[in-house]
Structure 1
Amino acid sequence: MHTTLRRGAALMFASLALAAAAAPPEQTATAVLDRLQAGDAQAAEALFTPELAQAAPAATLQALWQSFGEPRGRGAARVTAHQGMQVVVQPLQFATGTVDAQVAVDAAGRVAGLIFRPAATPATPAPDVPAGAGYREQPLEIPTTRGSLPGTLAMPAGTGPFRAVVLVHGSGPQDRDETIGANRPFLDVARGLAAQGIAVLRYDKRTHARPQDFSGTDYTVDDETTDDAVAAIAALAATAGIDPRHLYVMGHSQGGMLAPRIASHSGKVAGVVLWSAPARSLLTLLPEQNRYLLGLDGQISADEQAFLDKLDAQIAAARGTTPTAATDLPLGQPARYWQSFEAIDPVADARALAQPILLLQGGRDFQVVDTDWQLWRRGLARQRAVTFRDYPALNHLGIAGEGPGSPKEYTRPGHVAAPLIDDVARWIGAQP
């Protein structure tokens, strides 16, 4: 689901309003990172707000830092304003790859949020389409009532009409390539399918392109994902050279979970592809993912257990009826968002579809695991137009590897496996 380094997934922004003289935010961020690099997480924690110190105990923070390997240097920091705070993004080079540290500094100069993510390097453009590739790429804006979203259409050579796919992202603020660390799975899929005669639309997710649309607490998963995917399908259907009878949705992770819902809301979809799709709620997956990652070193410390206990309490609050501030709920998301998520049953949504379904699952996926895969298989066992494909060596991003899956993989460059892309192309081409 979430594509942050999961050990740090819950080190999210805490909203405070403190007015006092403070050091420049870059200086505060540097002080925190210097102390972590020196192995003194207790000193780093001394710069935190009480809320963050409780959510991110020193032992957990130090273990996370050490998991990145030997430090190799830092890139230039950049500072942006977000909800009354200054957010410093500092690229960190480690032996295992590059990680972005996002340090949120409040008005009093205290660290109110800390996230480590595989470096997305959004400023680096996608490589040019190779000469003689058999397809071209062109910009395609997706108009919506809340502002347009920028996208890219990979179009096969020729006049068409072509069968076409809309790619729908996993959770978090994703760009059109679904850049995760050193990897761009949506770029791989779009170009791989376009080379086989299938047009592919990928676009920047609203949380990436227009984060200002989520400044309040009155938004749902449809506001975040579903409605924009429906708009993308409509924009694709209206594009010259596209066969409107053969429009498909390929959702990855959370996008796969929502793909049946998107198809139902659109009414223009000929079939859906569910790639590494959860069959269960994110609130069920979050504690599983965190327990797995905190236990990769063979033990869970008392501080780590306290963090897990707090996460369990936040999840219980999200599922309860007592009004609770977003800062006291998982990932800092408001209650209405979680309520909308909990109301969705992805297996039932898929079962209700008349359209054909293709499900794809990697055997080394630690984010969406075999439990979900078996739920899909059992839940759709009686559906006639359902195809299952599993790939033992692939991780959550569809990239091959060995051994237990871990976030370190996301920092190493790789590509979505060709057999997965080929299976999607054959399945789409086989639809009557």
Structure 2
Amino acid sequence: MSTSSMSTSRRLLMLGLTLLACPAIAADPQQVANRLLDHLQAGQTTDAEAMFTAQMAEAVPAEKLGTLWNSLGTLKERGTAQVSTQQGLQLVVVPLQFSSGGVVAQVAVDAQDKVAGLMLRPAAAEKAAPPPADARYSEVEFSVPQARGALPGTLALPKGKGPFPAVVLVHGSGPQDRDETIGGSRPFLDVARGLAARGIAVLRYDKRTLTRPQDFANDHFTVDDETTLDAVAALTAVAADPRIDRSHVFVMGHSQGGMLAPRIASRWPQARGAILWAAPARTLLELLPEQNRYLMALDGSISAPEQAFLDRLDAQIAAARSDAPAPASELPLGVPQSFWKSVEAVNARGDAQALHKPLLMLHGSRDFQVPDADWTLWQKALAGRSDVQWQAYPALNHIGIAGSGPSSLQEYAHPGHVDATLIDDVATWIKAQR
């Protein structure tokens, strides 16, 4: 969570994709998409909004559109568009190069040449550079076997004589690569290499929603399908590796992954302990309106269109929680009701209370996605536990990068690295468990 693609940080670049069945095809969808991008590049968000269908305009008001577009930095290059037909719409895909990194624009055009959907998602990240020759660790490809299909990953191994203690990293919400790439930053890459250099093996892997989206084609899945089952499979696989000390394998979850870490550790009872990094104490549907309200109020006020967006989000959340069936298009972020129901059923604090294993709790005080209120709830829930260690970092944001002032989406666009103190604290805690 980032709570994030299902949180604000999928999230970061997702404006929402609304696909409506139409009987005909737009005459020149590429021209429509280019005109939309021209308006956005020129800062003419009102003209861009005028190209939307009524439903799209209600979901993404001009002010929100402008804020998100500007958060990407300066547009430097526009690539060649590709056009395909999906659900009666023409889908135009245009690669864009911003100062903050590569982005792919997906523009859905209906039969009336109106924009029925717009998504700006991060371009596939370039593979991380290999470790330097003098690094105190190496990296090897590592596949996570699963009945639904294996997931590709990377195992960072300390140099020297093993077996080594190990950590499995579990992502935040939404499609995530093994480095949990967000804008110009790679939090999981920093953590994996930092811990490996300190004598701890780390497995990171591509999330199923990124690498095997076909597994979710039936539009009915749960948070366990998205995260938990694969995390358990990853723990099982890494513990079976002879280079790993199977009695000292830990789960480290970030954002939504942190919320699920106690559940994951309980379903893989061999886990030595769990690390909850920027973990929500409340459900994602409780946090989602808070995150959006925070972002919209950063300029000092919430405009009428922004309030209309918040009102619509409240209605979508109510529909997600309702016992009455509702299509994904009417729910937050276009995610099916089965997922939201399963997330609402997660009792993260209760799971942590029931998990009689050591816990390390990590929190950045500049985290607007999982704010101090959740940190306080965690402290109340786990008060008196001698096997829980608490580490708060005043300058860190949701992804563990230091800054100053109120955190924002724009901050994520700038490359940064996870604070070394946080990585040191994790390594020290893991070694203490031996």
User: TM-score, length-normalised on structure 1?
Assistant: 0.93
Report how far residue 20 of structure 1 moved. Answer: 2.1
Mapped contact 1:260–1:272 kept (Cα < 8 A): yes
Query: What are the equivalent positions in structure 2 for 1:402-417 lying under 5 Å apart?
Result: 402-417=404-419
Question: Does residue 1:247 correspond to 2:252, yes or no?
Answer: no
Distance 1:80 1:398, change over 3 A: farther
Equivalent residue for 1:140, pick from 139, 142, 153: 142
Question: Following the alignment from structure 2 to structure 1, what is the Cα–Cα distance between the partners of residues 255 and 84?
Answer: 29
Partner of 2:229: 227
What SS does structure 2 have at the residue aligned with 1:140?
strand
Question: Does residue 1:57 correspond to 2:61, yes or no?
Answer: yes
Question: Following the alignment from structure 2 to structure 1, what is the Cα–Cα distance between the partners of residues 152 and 101?
Answer: 27
Deviates more, 1:128-137 or 1:225-234: 128-137
Report how far residue 253 of structure 1 moved. Answer: 0.5
Question: Following the alignment from structure 1 to structure 2, what is the Cα–Cα distance between the partners of residues 231 and 82?
Answer: 36
Query: What are the equivalent positions in structure 2 for 1:19-418 lying under 5 Å apart?
Result: 19-23=23-27, 25-68=29-72, 71-77=74-80, 79=82, 84=87, 86=91, 88-94=93-99, 97-98=100-101, 100=103, 102-106=105-109, 108=111, 109-117=113-121, 119=122, 121-122=124-125, 124-418=126-420
Q: Which amino acid aligns with 1:60?
A: K
Report how far residue 22 of structure 1 moved. Answer: 2.1
Question: Following the alignment from structure 2 to structure 1, what is the Cα–Cα distance between the partners of residues 369 and 277?
Answer: 12
Mapped contact 2:328–2:334 kept (Cα < 8 A): yes
Report how far residue 100 of structure 1 moved. Answer: 2.3
Mapped contact 2:33–2:92 kept (Cα < 8 A): no
Residue deviations 1:269-304 (CA, integer Å, cap 9, x gap): 110000001000100100000001011111111011
Question: Following the alignment from structure 1 to structure 2, what is the Cα–Cα distance between the partners of residues 390 and 255?
Answer: 18
Question: Following the alignment from structure 1 to structure 2, what is the Cα–Cα distance between the partners of residues 398 and 215?
Answer: 33
Report how far residue 319 of structure 1 moved. Answer: 1.1
Q: Which amino acid aligns with 1:412?
A: H
Distance 1:80 1:162, change over 3 A: farther
Question: Following the alignment from structure 1 to structure 2, what is the Cα–Cα distance between the partners of residues 7 and 421?
Answer: 25
Mapped contact 1:6–1:407 kept (Cα < 8 A): no
Question: Following the alignment from structure 1 to structure 2, what is the Cα–Cα distance between the partners of residues 14 and 420?
Answer: 39
What SS does structure 2 have at the residue aligned with 1:53?
helix
Question: Following the alignment from structure 1 to structure 2, what is the Cα–Cα distance between the partners of residues 26 and 382?
Answer: 61
What SS does structure 2 have at the residue aligned with 1:141?
strand
Distance 1:196 1:68, change over 3 A: closer
Mapped contact 1:77–1:91 kept (Cα < 8 A): no
Moved over 6 A (4+): 6-10
What SS does structure 1 have at the residue aligned with 2:155?
strand
Partner of 1:14: 18
Q: What stretches of structure 2 of length at least 5 have no aligned partner?
A: none
Report how far residue 354 of structure 1 moved. Answer: 1.0
**Overall identity of the aligned pairs, in %:** 57
What SS does structure 1 have at the residue aligned with 2:274?
strand
Residue deviations 1:4-55 (CA, integer Å, cap 9, x gap): 5589777312121213232554433221111122333233223323321111
Partner of 1:423: 425
Question: Following the alignment from structure 1 to structure 2, what is the Cα–Cα distance between the partners of residues 82 and 332?
Answer: 19
Distance 1:388 1:120, change over 3 A: farther
Report how far residue 391 of structure 1 moved. Answer: 0.6
Q: What stretches of structure 1 of length at least 5 have no aligned partner?
A: none
